Structure 1
Amino acid sequence: MSYFIGVDVGTSSARAGLVKKTENGGKLIKFHSEEIQIFKPSSGFFEQSSSNIWQKVCECIKIVTSEIRDKSQIKGIGFDATCSLVLLDKNLQPLTASPTKKHEQNVIMWLDHRAQEEADFINSLKHDCLQFVGGKISLEMEVPKLLWLKKNLFEESFNKIHFAFDLPDFLTFKATGKDSRSVCSLTCKWNYDAIKGEFPKDYFKSIGLEELCENNFKKIGDHVLFPGDLVGELSKEAADEMNLLPGIAIGTSMIDAHAGAIGLIGSSTSQQRDIELTSKLILIAGTSTCHMSITRNILFCPNIWGPYKNALIPNFFLHEAGQSACGILIDYILSSHQDYEKVLKQLNGKNIHDYLYCEILRMSAAENLKSFHELTKNFHFYPDFHGNRSPIADSTLTGMAIGLTMHNSIAISYLAIIQALVYSTKHIIESLYQSGRDEFKSILICGGLSKNKLYVQTTADVCKIPVLSSFESESVLIGSSMLGAKASGIFSSLEESINELKNEAYQIEPDWNSFDYHDRKYRVFLKMLNDQNSYKIIMNE
């Protein structure tokens, strides 16, 4: 018997899952989650502690492996995490990233927006390497944040950096003591050129980060590996913290959304058994939502990240788009509604999302509508409450609502915000098509919102594409376990690991009766975007 461990560090929690190979794919037999700390020292600032994160990771692993008597059966561990920035000093201790100057706060989170000015400056130089991030670097990426640290915390932090890690790479470093970096993180978040196999030195010098070029970019990564490559063996120190045996293979890490993508990309149904991996759009839909797809050839799309060579699967090019606020925005709209508390009292143990979906269906039947979507005919949201990551790449965009009255139903507000988020997905898809991408034949979905029936059905209806949802709900943990499985040597390649541990899915078909309605409502969505920009022009006259 062979087991693999998948570790996923998300925005607010660390999780570990124990996975074994069965005839039906990778089976998650136990998982555990622990909350991790988030610090908010100022508006737009979000920080964490790498020590707190590592402690919670070890606790999770101890719990999920507690019933395995023969720990030698655990063959590999894979890690994924959010693309947050971790700072360590020369003693490999936490180095402050915070205006509070507290050293425990040594992680700048992915959703931190402190580096707007630095991102704008970098974009103004229009370096050729920015074509791989859609023409504009995001303030959520690591390089603008490092430039912010140089400008604002030079003596306290920047000048003392020994290692600056993406969080997934920090985890493999802690597990093995070996300094390596994943091409996934470096290419997607650090402006690494995976086609040439190097950092663009002239770029870092031109933006004022020449210090990072020293010693072949040792501080940010001079030893680059593919996802699932063997980083090294679990060290005795780390093994003691996890209550495991040293020597377990540790696979090169991935960003959390990307681990979800490999955990899902092999999934299929009887209707779509043999379709190409390149014809699939993968949604990792949770707090934020990532949209991922791969091509065999280089393809550039304005304001969509990529093409990233080897970032997901070797010899394929990844395109990545996203929404900075998705699940968190739905929660915000619900919790800020005047009837929210009243609805909570009526749930009787029922999930609020299921409850509201039933209410939407009841209201639609009462009005004898052709599609329940028509309930929002006179109510429209524009969803960029936390700025737009794709396909506009404008962090200054904000949310909008049309049709507000004194008596807006919480169910209709809920339906309208989900529709708006999916129109944003349609906007991303159309941008990819306009850049020459072949059409998608299926959308595969995982993450918290994959359990939201209304969101899944709306995605199929708006995009007019079947949606596949895996029978294994924890695709991210399956994906990270695939990295450990590849590193163990049991599988010869990451693609083989994907094929052997993949799971079957079920298919949600689009509702053809809603197509015309969504076409019209999508036109309203685009007009709201244009109107918002026109308001800015008026107010800046």
Structure 2
Amino acid sequence: MRGHLTLGIDIGTTNVKAAILDTNTGKLVAFGSKEHPLFHPFPGWAEQEPGNYWSAVVSAIRQCLDQGRFADDIAAVALSGLVGVTLPVNDQGRPLRPAMIWMDARSEPECEDIRTRVGEAAINRNNGNRIAPWFIDPKALWIKRHEPHIFSAIHKFLSPSGYCTFRMCGNFTMNTGDAGLAYAYEYQKESWNEGIANAIGIPLEMFPRLYRSHELVGEVTRQAAEETGLRAGTLVAAGGTDISSAALGVGVTKAGQAYYSMGTGSNLGIMIPTEQRVEEYRILKWPHVLPGLTMFDGPMAFTGASLKWFRDQFGDSEWRLAERMGQNVFDLFTAQAMQVPPCSDGLLYLPYLGNTLSPNWHSNATGAFFGIRPTTTRSHFIRALIEGVAFDLYSNIRIAREAGVAVDGLILNGGPTKSRFWNQITANVVNVPLQVPDIGEAAPIGDAILAGTAAGIYSSPVEPLDRIVRIKETIDPDPKLHERYRAFFDIWSSFYQHVRGDMDAHRALVDRYHSG
């Protein structure tokens, strides 16, 4: 008998989250999570060990299964994960090197090679995106140039979710969302373009077979069952990207809807019909988990990571107090930020702790504070961190509007959005209402819905959303505060543009002395 439960698993940049959905009630019955590490072996590099993805997936699943006798009733499982990751494996599925993730900026010379050999216009026309180290191809070319012995052994390039799907069912697969991060993927046709692949120099056979997110790709193998505790033969769906699965999980399913997902990094996702061409390439485009929809998406690199950096480097006292009082350490930081007026008495923060993604796409960008005075306190720095992240979002919203894409409100998801204080700052900066769904982590929920569709429990991924998604609060902006923020935003933007060239020179100097 087919089970009535489904399992969704999302592999985030630093955390794997899993959830079991009861399809009869539309409620989650179990949740598990497990952190996994991120490594920066050199300036501008960002890598992860694929085995750590799988270990965290196994841990999160077992946490869920420890909460009840669920395994025999799970009909299907689907995984999503972080995007823009170059993870090469051999023909046995074994990783050949650490995965180079989206924030890895080492492949700028390879980007220039693609611009010269293929052309920005050809990539734009085929894939809908710009040329930048964030994507799979430049990092793959870096391997080809610097590690040719590895490149010659590559059987497939997988995403983190594709690698763990392989570990789950033994098949090499790629969902169309992950494929959107490879330049050979022709997003308006849902197919590979062999001419583009050959021109870039990445053979098309190095990419797996394509699947839509709700399609079946296999069954849980006996070995995976022994590792995870799942029942062998449980159906496995293709899954999606972390951002598109989260969009489904909060009910963003129609053209014109938009949402803001916050975690280590963040994404502004605006839904457009796939056939619509938007000639703006500072903001990306990749497939939604729903066929026919494309996400006009602005990724930003250091969102929650900014406050996490401050916590790790300067938060010893908050750590100790949080442990003693049983509180969330981030709540202690935001309580301090509340004591500072909007715009932090002029202190501005550029949230670029390693590079900047949309809209500036500047691999040599670094974080910076501007406006420090003798009266600037620790609390000012905390509030400025939050406001700087909101300014980064606002810069993308303004560009989307200039491109003719309307943004009248945002549906929220992710860890930082649990803070009403942070949400109110965001609303005041971007000047649109924010809707907060009554939902935990949206991506694993979206994955569980995709799994249910693959198993035939749902006729489509949108069918169960009315029972699952509820909006619990709408946060409206304060127009007067927005005017203040907008004035400081102009200075914030101008400051970055003035120091951009110095950031490039600074990076060259750092690289020279680091290598020496």
TM-score, normalised to structure 1, is 0.85
Aligned match of 1:247 in 224, 228, 233? 233
| Aligned-partner Cα distance in 2 for 1:89–1:123 | 29
| Aligned-partner Cα distance in 1 for 2:346–2:66 | 55
Deviation at 1:511, TM superposition (A): 2.1
Residue 261 of structure 2 corresponds to residue 298 of structure 1: no
Residue 289 of structure 2 corresponds to residue 312 of structure 1: yes
C-alpha offsets along residues 273-309 of structure 1, whole Å, 9 cap, x if unaligned?
xxx833332111011111111112513243334443x
With over 3 angstroms needed to count, the CA separation of the structure-2 counterparts of 1:406 and 1:208, relative to structure 1, is same
Aligned ranges 1:94-109 → 2 under 5 Å: 94-95=95-96, 97=97, 105=98, 107-109=99-101
Q: What is the SS of the residue equivalent to 1:387?
A: coil
Aligned match of 1:115 in 91, 104, 107? 107
Residue matched to 1:270: none
| Aligned-partner Cα distance in 1 for 2:342–2:24 | 41
Identity %: 19
Aligned match of 2:487 in 516, 520, 525? 520
C-alpha offsets along residues 206-246 of structure 1, whole Å, 9 cap, x if unaligned?
2333xx1xxxx33212x211111111222222222222222
Aligned match of 1:203 in 196, 202, 217? 196
With over 3 angstroms needed to count, the CA separation of the structure-2 counterparts of 1:29 and 1:336, relative to structure 1, is same
Deviation at 1:482, TM superposition (A): 1.4
Residue 385 of structure 2 corresponds to residue 417 of structure 1: yes
| Aligned-partner Cα distance in 2 for 1:218–1:537 | 37
Q: Is 2:123–2:183's contact at 8 Å kept on the other side of the alignment?
A: no
Q: What is the SS of the residue equivalent to 1:224?
A: strand
Residue matched to 1:150: 144
Greater mean deviation of Cα atoms: 126-135 or 1-10 = 126-135
Q: Is 1:136–1:393's contact at 8 Å kept on the other side of the alignment?
A: no
Residue matched to 1:471: 438
Deviation at 1:57, TM superposition (A): 1.7
Q: Is 1:21–1:500's contact at 8 Å kept on the other side of the alignment?
A: no
C-alpha offsets along residues 459-494 of structure 1, whole Å, 9 cap, x if unaligned?
111111111122222112211211211111111112
Residue matched to 2:478: 511
Aligned match of 1:176 in 169, 172, 178? 169
Residue matched to 1:42: 42
With over 3 angstroms needed to count, the CA separation of the structure-2 counterparts of 1:251 and 1:432, relative to structure 1, is same
| Aligned-partner Cα distance in 1 for 2:390–2:40 | 30
Residue matched to 1:289: 266
Deviation at 1:118, TM superposition (A): 1.0
Q: What is the SS of the residue equivalent to 2:8?
A: strand
Residue 64 of structure 2 corresponds to residue 64 of structure 1: yes
Q: Is 2:16–2:56's contact at 8 Å kept on the other side of the alignment?
A: yes
| Aligned-partner Cα distance in 2 for 1:123–1:161 | 24
What 5-or-longer segments of structure 1 have no aligned partner?
A: 98-104, 267-275, 365-371
Residue 355 of structure 2 corresponds to residue 387 of structure 1: yes
Aligned ranges 1:434-449 → 2 under 5 Å: 434-438=402-406, 440-449=407-416
Residue matched to 1:90: 91
Aligned match of 1:136 in 130, 143, 161? 130
Alignment-mate amino acid for residue 530 of structure 1: Q
Aligned match of 2:19 in 17, 20, 45? 17
Deviation at 1:191, TM superposition (A): 3.9
TM-score, normalised to structure 2, is 0.88
Deviation at 1:189, TM superposition (A): 4.0
| Aligned-partner Cα distance in 2 for 1:288–1:70 | 33
Residue matched to 1:493: 460
Alignment-mate amino acid for residue 80 of structure 1: S
| Aligned-partner Cα distance in 1 for 2:280–2:238 | 30
Q: Is 2:127–2:180's contact at 8 Å kept on the other side of the alignment?
A: no
Q: Give the number of aligned pairs.
A: 499
With over 3 angstroms needed to count, the CA separation of the structure-2 counterparts of 1:135 and 1:15, relative to structure 1, is closer
Deviation at 1:33, TM superposition (A): 2.0
Residue matched to 2:5: 3
Alignment-mate amino acid for residue 161 of structure 1: I
What 5-or-longer segments of structure 2 have no aligned partner?
A: 509-516
Residue matched to 2:255: 278
| Aligned-partner Cα distance in 2 for 1:132–1:388 | 24
| Aligned-partner Cα distance in 2 for 1:284–1:111 | 17
Deviation at 1:13, TM superposition (A): 2.9
Residue matched to 1:263: 249
With over 3 angstroms needed to count, the CA separation of the structure-2 counterparts of 1:116 and 1:537, relative to structure 1, is closer
Alignment-mate amino acid for residue 373 of structure 1: P
Alignment-mate amino acid for residue 147 of structure 2: L
Residue 138 of structure 2 corresponds to residue 161 of structure 1: no
With over 3 angstroms needed to count, the CA separation of the structure-2 counterparts of 1:117 and 1:343, relative to structure 1, is same
Q: Is 1:17–1:32's contact at 8 Å kept on the other side of the alignment?
A: yes
Deviation at 1:181, TM superposition (A): 1.6
With over 3 angstroms needed to count, the CA separation of the structure-2 counterparts of 1:159 and 1:491, relative to structure 1, is same
Deviation at 1:415, TM superposition (A): 1.3
Greater mean deviation of Cα atoms: 519-528 or 14-23 = 14-23
With over 3 angstroms needed to count, the CA separation of the structure-2 counterparts of 1:515 and 1:51, relative to structure 1, is closer
Alignment-mate amino acid for residue 288 of structure 1: G
Residue matched to 2:451: 484
Q: What is the SS of the residue equivalent to 2:30?
A: strand
Q: Is 1:486–1:497's contact at 8 Å kept on the other side of the alignment?
A: no
Deviation at 1:422, TM superposition (A): 0.8
Residue 436 of structure 2 corresponds to residue 450 of structure 1: no
Residue matched to 1:101: none
With over 3 angstroms needed to count, the CA separation of the structure-2 counterparts of 1:334 and 1:132, relative to structure 1, is farther
Q: What is the SS of the residue equivalent to 1:218?
A: helix
Residue matched to 1:51: 51
| Aligned-partner Cα distance in 2 for 1:359–1:240 | 47
Deviation at 1:160, TM superposition (A): 0.7
Q: Is 1:306–1:319's contact at 8 Å kept on the other side of the alignment?
A: yes
Residue matched to 1:77: 77
Alignment-mate amino acid for residue 88 of structure 1: V
